Structure 1
């Protein structure tokens, strides 16, 4: 977290954490908290999940590598940046390199962390680590895991940004990565 802003609201005290349900991807917890400066206690529900990664893979020609895949939550096919979960014992950077290769068949030796975002801090406990991978090269076909059906696309960066602007690309974590990428590019 940045040291450039002084937060004034106190943290809440955790009184009880009860796991209600567990899946391979997340667990649902009911929390009892002692909210600072409030009179009543309410149950809060949190999805606990592993850290996630998302990357902005760029080729030498400043083309971006994207993945098209069906997303069950919104019941539609989306166009996104490659990304995924950080496996147990894996660093976010290791996960980013693994996911880029698995999902797209591309790899990079030039990685930069450009930010970290919380997808929905009201109900999710995890963060997504955002990277830029430069000079990506194609190593062969992608090898997605068993639940993924991915088509890889490569296009000029400005064409991708047009798709973000017109709403074709609407995944919130992807939009956060785009914002961090553009902010970092602006400051260089």
Structure 2
């Protein structure tokens, strides 16, 4: 069932932008009929996460220091795909850059919104199989550690709270459901 939008936008004021994001301040009338302000962050890319899976059910995670969180993070390989470009091709590029892996078979597992209270960002997670291996090509902003491990161990890292990135958590849980469904 589709609901009508209870918000009224009065004015949109661009506040800041860089090559990755646009920040806007929205003057609004709230659903309660009061004047208010809403901040919105729009991304210039779609978020793309990839779960590489080999024939022995091993996967690969990348570890890196996340500046915004001021902490180290284990995640599935991921990156951004510019709006208007083919998401699969960008996911292939990200997987190759971050892990050196090339996959022959791709399956979209899910589409999600990363933090829908402040951003309109969409993310897509893919399962990549039939893998071959080559060299990485990290971007200048990346200092990554690559870890190969059984898929079940990556799933345990989610359950134990060792993986906290939303796209990685959702993607690994969905991959588990997909893998178990295809075994039946």
Mark yes or no: TM-score above 0.5.
Answer: yes
Residue-by-residue CA offset, 1:26-80 (whole Å, 9 max, x unaligned): 1110112344x42112110011102110011112221101111111112121111
Structure 2: which 5+ residue stretches go unaligned? none
* Secondary structure of 1:117 counterpart: strand
Residue-by-residue CA offset, 1:97-120 (whole Å, 9 max, x unaligned): 000000110010100111111110
1:69 alignment partner, one of 53, 56, 64: 64
Match of 2:75 in 1: 80
> Offset at 1:11?
5.3
Residue-by-residue CA offset, 1:115-169 (whole Å, 9 max, x unaligned): 1111100001110011100122212x21111110011111111111121121111
Structure 2 distance, partners of 1:79, 1:143, is: 19
Match of 1:57 in 2: 52
Tell whether 2:129 aligns with 1:122: no
Match of 2:178 in 1: 184
As a proportion of its length, which structure holds more strand? 2
Tell whether 2:43 aligns with 1:46: no
Match of 2:143 in 1: 149
Contact kept in structure 1, 2:46 and 2:83, CA below 8 Å: no
Structure 1: which 5+ residue stretches go unaligned? 1-5
1:33 alignment partner, one of 28, 31, 48: 28
> Offset at 1:89?
4.3
Structure 2 distance, partners of 1:158, 1:179, is: 11
Contact kept in structure 2, 1:52 and 1:92, CA below 8 Å: no
What TM-score comes out, normalization by structure 1 length? Answer: 0.88
* Secondary structure of 2:33 counterpart: coil
Structure 2 distance, partners of 1:58, 1:186, is: 13
Contact kept in structure 2, 1:59 and 1:137, CA below 8 Å: no
